[in-house]
């Protein structure tokens, strides 16, 4: 199955946030699923980090 992640889903997955349900987490870590990330997600992250609205645990380049 192909799964398109939005910005929050990507961040919650990477950070292990509890806001991501167990069902969603299970689907996202299932190696038989393809995870797709829109270029708009990276653009949104870059903007939010650059204006100080969001802080990442790692450099933005590590997410890309």
Domain hosting 51: range is 2-63
The pLDDT assigned to 33 comes to: 97
pTM score: 0.77
Rounded-to-integer distance, Cα 64 and Cα 60, Å: 7
How many structural domains is the chain composed of?
1
- Ordered per-residue pLDDT tens for the chain, 64 residues: 999 999 989 889 988 889 999 999 999 999 999 999 999 998 998 998 899 988 888 888 887 7
Rounded-to-integer distance, Cα 34 and Cα 1, Å: 6
- Strands 34-37 and 2-5 turn out to be parallel
In the chain, % helix, strand, coil (3-state, to 5) comes to: 50, 10, 35
The pLDDT assigned to 28 comes to: 96
The pLDDT assigned to 58 comes to: 82
């Amino acid at each position: 199955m192909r799964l398109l992640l939005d910005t929050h889903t990507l961040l919650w997955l990477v950070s292990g946030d509890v806001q991501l349900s167990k069902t969603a987490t299970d689907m996202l870590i299932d190696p038989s699923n393809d995870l797709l990330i829109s270029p708009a997600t990276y653009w949104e992250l870059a903007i939010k980090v650059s204006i100080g609205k969001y802080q990442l645990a790692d450099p933005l380049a590590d997410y890309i």
